[in-house]
Amino acid sequence: AKNVGILAMEIYFPPTCIQQEVLEAHDGASKGKYTIGLGQDCMAFCSEVEDVISMSMTAVTSLLEKYNVDPKQIGRLEVGSETVLDKSKSIKTFLMPIFEKCGNTDIEGVDSSNACYGGTAALFNCVNWVESSSWDGRYGLVVCTDSAVYAEGPARPTGGAAAIAMLIGPNAPVAFESKLRSSHMAHVYDFYKPDLASEYPVVDGKLSQTCYLMALDACYKGFCQKFEKQEGKQFSILDADYFVFHSPYNKLVQKSFSRLLFNDFSRNASSIDEAAKEKLAPFSSLSNEESYQSRDLEKIQKLFGLTVIFSQASQQVAKPFFDTKVQPSTLIPKQVGNMYTASLYAAFASLIHNKSSTLAGQRVILFSYGSGLAATMFSLRFTKGEKPFSLSNIASVMNVSEKLKSRNEFPPEKFVELMQLMEHRYGGKDFITSKDCSLLAPGTYYLTEVDSKYRRFYAKK
Ligand code: ACO
């Protein structure tokens, strides 16, 4: 199979959300901390009738319907998630009734998990399957589904929720450049979920930021080496049209892109002109370790992340690059929040939403990060594609603007009350939900009941 990649996409996020400005005031944080400091606009969350299973059911059925794909045509189904509702039974099995009722139970694949990386693992599994000798000619289907919720405190505004479904096959408008892929994996305790009675992670926020940036550096370094080996020329950010990052919050995305530029500077790559070199010269003697840990890191981050990106004086270095190469992928993550496994692909969906008519022929580099940690940087190439699997049709099916517009904003008191109810319900049994689906769009699945044997029941609006 040639040009294996993403043929079609659908995104679902709950219609329930809270404005970051409102949450910031309610939490007593200083004005601007969530909106400018973290760079977030709004945060989606599951109400008591939604969960990662219902969201994935909604995304999968909607994709099959809207692209007119026969469920019998799916030969592999992989789910990436870090939201544990069952320690044994995979989310994938909850999706099987969609296929069983069409007589298709011959579908490989189960769930992948490692924090926000599980979706990428699932995607690679499907792409590798289509490229392998065990491929039977049918499509792969990848689902990334998560509900990111944090305990009260500084991490709470970095939550979010969504499910994304991606159809995988040959001759795709979004094709993998499979040789251009570099990973970095290590053992760290930056963010983990050891308490099985709680949905909330244990998180060392500062460490997770450093681990993310170190993994980014390592992946970029490896990626550049592989590119240079294959193409016989040095890689710089000029060799890709777009960069899409796993997006826990927008500020980290700004810093990440700045770090790629700093890497280009250290490698003396062509993206850094004389003027930029002069600005960056004072930082050339910093070791990597220093650049992550010391106050000088702040200086670099300020230089790249803030000063360079936002101040008038020195915006020449990163700001124009950021605006053209990164900005188009930031919409959904800023509006919905961290969607864990779905975050990177929601950023990618934003790029297709914003630029579908001009992407053909262009290259995009994606960076996936999951705490604990697992990270990969990889490259995709766009072609126009043919309907229904064309870039323009993907954009129109996802209908992102409409979905964002038709949401329902919760006041903070109601949000906090809901979080408390969900804390209480997590891992619980023997309850019936309100079954109130009035805020959900037609076609959305929702949770109705968890019975005395912990079995979960869903209905479709
Ligand atoms: N106006 C403007 N900016 C402000 C304001 C204000 N009033 N107040 C603070 N800021 C800035 C800070 O300067 C900082 O920016 P900087 O890093 O560029 O200096 C930013 O806002 C955040 O402020 P901090 O004090 O660093 O925030 P805090 O430590 O309280 O929390 C954190 C941030 C660590 C990200 C927390 O939300 C968290 O733990 N989140 C979960 C972990 C996470 O998402 N990690 C990312 C990778 S791992 C993953 O994907 C889960």
Q: What is the pLDDT of residues 37-52, one digit of tens each?
A: 999 999 999 999 999 9
Show the tokens assigned to 148: 């990111």
Q: Is the CB of 282 under 6 A from ligand 1?
A: no
- pLDDT for 307: 40
Please write the tens of the pLDDT for every residue from 147-196.
Answer: 999 999 999 999 999 999 999 999 999 999 999 999 999 999 999 999 99
Q: How confident is the model at residue 312 (pLDDT cuts 50, 70, 90)?
A: very low
- pLDDT for 1: 84
Mean pLDDT value across residues 124-138? 98
Which atom of ligand 1 sits closest to the CA of residue 305?
A: 18
- Asked whether residue 75 carries a pLDDT value surpassing 70, the answer given is yes
Q: Average per-residue pLDDT in the chain? A: 92
Instruction: Tell if the pTM clears 0.90, that is, is over it.
Output: yes
- pLDDT for 292: 60
* Alpha carbons 202 and 215: distance in angstroms, whole number: 20
3-state secondary structure of 60: helix
- pLDDT for 280: 72
Sequence-distant (6+) residues with CB within 8 A of 3 are 170, 171, 172, 175, 383
* Alpha carbons 139 and 266: distance in angstroms, whole number: 43
* Alpha carbons 250 and 50: distance in angstroms, whole number: 25
* Alpha carbons 93 and 154: distance in angstroms, whole number: 35
Residue pair 457/447 in contact by the 8 Å Cβ criterion: yes
Return the residue whose CA atom lies nearest to atom 27 of ligand 1.
Answer: 154
Please write the tens of the pLDDT for every residue from 391-402.
Answer: 999 999 999 999
Please write the tens of the pLDDT for every residue from 243-292.
Answer: 999 999 999 998 888 888 888 888 887 777 777 777 777 667 666 666 66
Q: Is the CB of 209 under 6 A from ligand 1?
A: yes
Which of 33, 113, 291 for a ligand 1 pocket mutation test, highest count of atoms within 8 Å of Cβ?
33
Give residue limits of the domains in the chain: 5-173+385-460
Question: Which CATH fold would you assign to the domain 5-173+385-460?
Answer: Peroxisomal Thiolase; Chain A, domain 1 (3.40.47)
Supply the residues annotated as catalytic.
82, 116, 246
Radius of gyration for the chain, computed over Cα atoms and rounded to the nearest angstrom: 21
Cα–Cα separations (whole angstroms), residue 4 to 135, 380, 389: 12, 10, 13
Mean pLDDT value across residues 12-34? 98
Residue pair 256/213 in contact by the 8 Å Cβ criterion: yes
ipTM of this complex: 0.98
* Alpha carbons 320 and 325: distance in angstroms, whole number: 8
* Alpha carbons 77 and 125: distance in angstroms, whole number: 10
Residue 173, φ and ψ in degrees, nearest 5 = -70, -15
- pLDDT for 265: 83
